[in-house]
Amino acid sequence: MFKALAASTLLLSLAACATPMDGGGQAARSETISLAVGPCFGFCPVYSLSVAPDGAVRFEGERHTTVVGLKEKTVAPGAYQAVARSLAPWRPASGTTAQTECEQLASDLPTYTVVWTDAAGEMTTLNHDGGCMSETNSRLKAALQAIPGQLGVEPWLERPANDPNTR
């Protein structure tokens, strides 16, 4: 009797640790997605942001942004899912770092770094040069540039009125 109870307890404990699956058979994502946008030769916004599955958004403007410093907000979890879906075609294998390939390169455009960090802290990284010219890279760049709008932080990127580089 004691062995049966112990075995049942062990099985229930293991089931509680199992990774849930979504309807497509994929492991449900519980990872934070971060985006860092680097400088260009000019006055491009330089910032980083992250979004968690619960909708927690952290934004940090570095320069050429309305918000300089840290700002946080909460969005609907569907916004996280939309970002995850939009980046899925370019997500490298878990735990790896990848660089997009360039067929043609225009210099002096922003760089993008996307990091998926899972609950255990394992990071998966994609580095992209905004000057990489190809049909695939153009779609990736459009997906990256859409993220601030998906998360409702686009107004924080606008160049401030007191920026001396505003024309």
Per-residue pLDDT at 29: 56
Distance CA(96)–CA(118), nearest Å, equals 13
Q: Among the listed ranges 22-26, 74-78, 123-127, 150-154, which one has the minimum average pLDDT value?
A: 22-26
Give the Cα separation of 37 and 131 in Å (integer). 13
- The per-residue pLDDT for range 6-59, each reduced to its tens digit, is 333 333 333 333 333 333 333 345 899 999 999 988 889 999 999 999 999 999
pLDDT 10s digits, 83-120: 999 999 999 999 999 999 888 888 889 999 999 999 99
Q: Are 85 and 66 in contact (CB under 8 A)?
A: no
* Average pLDDT over every residue of 64-91: 95
Kindly state the DSSP code that residue 119 receives in the 8-state scheme.
T
Checking 77-83 for CB contacts under 8 A at 24+ apart, the result is: 77/53, 79/51, 79/55, 79/150, 79/151, 79/152, 80/33, 80/51, 80/52, 80/53, 80/54, 80/55, 82/150, 83/33, 83/51, 83/147, 83/150, 83/151
Per-residue pLDDT at 164 exceeds 50: yes
pLDDT of 158:
81
Instruction: Look at the block and give the residue holding tokens 């998966």.
Output: 124
User: Quick check: pTM over 0.85?
Assistant: no
pLDDT of residue 43: 87
Quote the radius of gyration of the chain (alpha carbons, Å). 20
Q: Using CA of residue 22, residue 26, residue 96, residue 38, what is the dihedral sign?
A: negative
CA angle 152, 146, 116 (to 5 degrees): 90
